[in-house]
Amino acid sequence: MKVAVVGATGMVGTVMLKLLEERQFPVTELIPVASERSVGKKVPYKGVDYSIVGLATAVEMKADIAIFSAGGDTSLEWAPKFAEAGTVVIDNSSAWRMDPTKKLVVPEINASELTSEDKIIANPNCSTIQLVMALSPLHDKYKMRRVVISTYQSVSGTGVKAVQQLENEIKGIKGDMAYPYPIGRNALPHCDVFLENGYTKEEMKLAKEPQKILNDTSFAITATAVRIPTAGGHSESVNVQFETDFDLQEVRAILSQSDGVTVQDNTDTNTYPMPIYAHGKDDVFVGRIRRDESQPNTLNIWIVSDNLRKGAATNAIQIAEYLVANIL
């Protein structure tokens, strides 16, 4: 299995290489790919240093799978070239997510929709993945009508420059700014760029992507996305109104029995999900499970996940694992 990792030197790419090794993915030849300025540099994998190659060279090497985490523009230009060379592309950018000809996949939910015809497969937004992991089994049982989300997203979701900004602020060092304001001791209601409707791109991803993943437009989602000064792990406050009523113990049981979901919900012991618990783990953690007492059939939950792992790299590699087991 010849595997290319495009964006191998970035935050997500580095985690992808780590996870390919951790999960013992059957890599027979690794092709680390990055921008021209990184060509020739080395990246470690399983104790061996591999030389980074450029995109054009990587296409010619005809990988079986290419996992992209290199930005939307790169994906739009290069994913079709890899696909034409016979490589299956799993893309972590937003470039292909809402393309009606491309599948948007969270393996626990809809990997079974994949076929040998799918040459470019989209990995959802990090905040979307953890959201649908918790909501999908509840939607199957109670049918969602409306979802209201507020996110508390870590700086690692922006990238290395944002992590460095936070670290500089903690140390009192002046440096490059990834955000228009300080992030330390602050909260920015500004994830991604603002659109004409007043929402950010991140908020609209949360509104639209779950409908595509679940293949259902019968429910509506509205979101407010906020950046907070945590180094890793996204959190979400989610209010979901269902068509039918629910029993809280049954909700906990459904979530506990869902693959990739861990329930942390005991207020007597102050047990609830937090980014420091989710760090370095692949599960999606759900807690603060309680009824919304202001209207019927409505639930409040709190969802936390490591945005670089299940929110990005792990989900992409799980897609690759499904392809190897069932299609390739």
* Cα–Cα distance measured from residue 14 to residue 69, given in angstroms and rounded to the nearest whole number: 10
- Amino acid present at 255: L
Tokens linked to 316: 């992409």
Which phi and psi (to 5°) does residue 222 adopt? -130, 145
Q: Which of 139, 190, 234, 279 is catalytic?
A: 234
CA distances from 235 to 27, 187, 285 (A): 33, 13, 9
* Cα–Cα distance measured from residue 120 to residue 101, given in angstroms and rounded to the nearest whole number: 9
SS3 180: coil
- Angle, in degrees to the nearest 10, between helices 248-256 and 126-142: 130
Question: In 218-239, which positions are buried (b, 16+ CB within 10 angstroms) versus exposed (e)?
Answer: ebebebbbbbbbbebbbbbbbb
Q: Where are the alpha helices (DSSP H) in 111-175?
A: 126-142, 160-171
Report the candidate in 56, 50, 16, 17 with the shortest Cα–Cα distance to residue 36. Answer: 56
Q: Is 234 a catalytic residue?
A: yes
Which phi and psi (to 5°) does residue 156 adopt? -65, -20
- Contact in structure between 233 and 155 (CB atoms under 8 Å): no
List the catalytic residues.
126, 234
